[in-house]
Structure 1
Amino acid sequence: MEYEERYRQAQRPKYDCLLFDLDDTLYPLSSGLAISCRKNIEDYMIERLGIEKSKIPDLCNLLYKNYGTTMAGLRAIGYDFDYDEYHSFVHGRLPYENLKPDPVLRSLLLSLPIRKVIFTNADKVHAAKALSKLGLEDCFEGIICFETLNPTHKSTVSDDEDDIEFAGLITTTNTATVMTTTSTSTKIFDIIGHFSQPNLGSRLPKTPIVCKPSEDAIELALRLANINPQRTMFFEDSVRNIQSGKRLGLHTVLVGTSQRTKGADFALESIHNLKEAIPELWEADKKAEVGYTGNVAVETPVTA
């Protein structure tokens, strides 16, 4: 029995979950969605929040750098807006027609005998639409998205984890409108001034939004989806997201470059290079073809 238990452990695949970012990971940066998204964010800041156009470049850079997303940064420094409206403005006008069905990637994903989950900072409407355009909507168990990490009940963030949605792709129920978590503030924190004239006694305000690359966001996602980081491979195009994941024990794959950076266990120029670069992911499939009788391993013939 002791031998059999050791044999079972030896045959156990190294990974039992693959965690995939969506944008610029499952499709290339050359699709143009990232550029369009950035332009839409800038337009929202000007048209809906009344921010001066001349301040936009510096402001976007500082918010993204310090808060993970521009949206999280805007909320932190005092701007009050409806989350659903923001996502509709920013993602609703993206050139989704640039995304084409990807049968090669679809075949790769479906051939992997491992649990697969999407983990994105975007809202679930965008995630579902992008996956549908790529023809990958049925390749994943579910989606960890903005609504998953920022659950709402009426106009306040819920503290009850039972309210948190792990958005399976077959889910059709509508989530509640995501409202801001504090009352409107007329005082906006001057983050540009904060960095141009550093004050040792001044601290950056915190954001109510939970998102990558925050380690808290990644830990929450892992817990909600019941994912063991030591047995999970994390695919991302963002170096800082990769590094946060690595610190939490995830095995990491940087997508979009062949240059492996600090925190990345692997680097792929394209997600299409997956099988050539990491053939071990298909080990579980091979091991499934091997059985044993008593203490002797026996190959099981594969029928056509």
Structure 2
Amino acid sequence: MSPRNKSVFLAGAPCHKAAMKKLDRLPTREEFAHVTDWVFDLDNTLYPHHVNLFAQIDKNMTAYVAELLSLEPAEAKKLQKEYYRDHGTTLQGLMIHHGIDPNDFLERAHAIDYSVVPANPDLGDAIKALPGRKFIFTNGSVAHAEMTARALGILDHFDNIFDIVAAGYLPKPAGDTYDKFMSLHRVDTQHAAMFEDLPRNLLVPKALGMKTILLVPRNLEYEFAEAWETSSDADEQIDYVTEDLAGFLRRVVAEA
């Protein structure tokens, strides 16, 4: 789906009826009774958008691109976002076009202050109550995922973290990366659910038969987002939309 063909949610823009219905549609225990594998993206998914932890990473990536290519900050930001859009991550674009060392990039990108992430015991309880296995599937690094999940107080509730290194640096939404994750952990996609903040990263999970849940900001207010990062009426790969992950999870394990 071309981003140019998508009408998007942005702060101040009119909300689209089809997507609003998804936001208003509450899950039931019965609809998720078959799920035995729960797969969560990390950034802007396990913590809400308004925490804005990724803004620090974004700043570090811009600085890296500016230093690497001797660009002014505005030029570096523009190129960084182009690589992110076209290749799934800024890292992948830099590897393809400039042959950088991915480990150095990841270390510098994730040199951030995790103290801004508030502990979320309600989310921890909700994840712990889910039947079956729980995974973090991120385009970031294991170290970043561990630091973030530890700050949230939820790290111990996950069975494994699949990161960009395990993916061979090929990020979501690449189909081969999903295949690698599913094969490694023997995930039956007909009995799995995927939670993400980027609509395009739910295309493959939906095609594989997974339940798909999009995390959005409170009141659908995207303060900093590219058009392609947000949801639209045309996103048929999305089964549910929620702005409250803990609340959503509590409903799917609620007593009948």
TM-score class, shorter-chain normalisation, is: 0.7 to 0.9
Match of 1:143 in 2: 161
Match of 1:214 among 174, 177, 181: 174
Superimposed CA distance per residue, residues 71-119 of structure 1 (whole angstroms, 9 cap, x where no aligned partner): 1011112x12222211111101x22111121110011111112211110
Match of 1:282 in 2: 253
Superimposed CA distance per residue, residues 267-298 of structure 1 (whole angstroms, 9 cap, x where no aligned partner): 1112122146xx3x427x87xxxxxxxxxxxx
Cα deviation, residue 54, structure 1: 4.4
Match of 1:149, SS?
A: coil
What letter corresponds to residue 44 of structure 1 in structure 2?
Y
Match of 2:238 in 1: 264
Match of 2:52 in 1: 32
Q: Distance in 1 between matches of 2:66 and 2:76?
A: 8
Q: Decide whether aligned partners of structure 1 residues 47 and 57 sit closer, same or farther in structure 2, where only a CA change above 3 A counts.
A: closer
Q: Tell me, yes or no, if the aligned pair for 2:195 and 2:212 is still in contact at 8 Å.
A: yes
TM-score by length of structure 2 reads 0.76
Q: Tell me, yes or no, if the aligned pair for 2:41 and 2:138 is still in contact at 8 Å.
A: yes
What letter corresponds to residue 224 of structure 1 in structure 2?
L
Q: Tell me, yes or no, if the aligned pair for 2:173 and 2:201 is still in contact at 8 Å.
A: yes
Q: Tell me, yes or no, if the aligned pair for 2:39 and 2:137 is still in contact at 8 Å.
A: yes
Cα deviation, residue 57, structure 1: 3.4
* Residues 1:57 and 2:77 are matched in the alignment: yes
Q: Distance in 1 between matches of 2:242 and 2:44?
A: 12
Q: Distance in 1 between matches of 2:209 and 2:102?
A: 31
Cα deviation, residue 53, structure 1: 3.6
* Residues 1:231 and 2:191 are matched in the alignment: yes
Cα deviation, residue 29, structure 1: 1.5
Q: Tell me, yes or no, if the aligned pair for 2:114 and 2:151 is still in contact at 8 Å.
A: yes
Match of 1:63, SS?
A: helix
Q: Tell me, yes or no, if the aligned pair for 1:215 and 1:248 is still in contact at 8 Å.
A: no
Q: Tell me, yes or no, if the aligned pair for 1:215 and 1:245 is still in contact at 8 Å.
A: no
Match of 2:137 among 90, 104, 119: 119
Q: Distance in 2 between matches of 1:29 and 1:221?
A: 25
Q: Distance in 2 between matches of 1:35 and 1:140?
A: 25
Match of 1:143, SS?
A: strand
RMSD: 2.2
Match of 1:15, SS?
A: coil
Q: Decide whether aligned partners of structure 1 residues 87 and 275 sit closer, same or farther in structure 2, where only a CA change above 3 A counts.
A: closer
Match of 2:101 among 82, 102, 122: 82
Greater RCO (Cα-Cα under 8 Å, separation 6 or more): 2
Match of 1:180 in 2: none
Please state which structure has a larger fraction of its residues in helix.
Answer: 2
Cα deviation, residue 46, structure 1: 1.2
Q: Distance in 2 between matches of 1:37 and 1:59?
A: 15
Match of 1:97, SS?
A: helix
TM-score by length of structure 1 reads 0.65
Cα deviation, residue 52, structure 1: 4.5
Match of 1:254 in 2: 214
Superimposed CA distance per residue, residues 35-79 of structure 1 (whole angstroms, 9 cap, x where no aligned partner): 1111110000112343444432331232111100111011112x1
The structure number with the bigger radius of gyration is 1
Identity of paired residues, percent? Answer: 28
Q: Tell me, yes or no, if the aligned pair for 2:124 and 2:154 is still in contact at 8 Å.
A: yes
Q: Distance in 1 between matches of 2:153 and 2:74?
A: 40
* Residues 1:105 and 2:123 are matched in the alignment: yes
What letter corresponds to residue 47 of structure 2 in structure 1?
Y
Q: Distance in 2 between matches of 1:121 and 1:65?
A: 13
Q: Tell me, yes or no, if the aligned pair for 2:63 and 2:76 is still in contact at 8 Å.
A: no
Q: Distance in 1 between matches of 2:120 and 2:72?
A: 40
Q: Distance in 2 between matches of 1:81 and 1:61?
A: 17
Cα deviation, residue 13, structure 1: 4.0
Aligned residues: 212
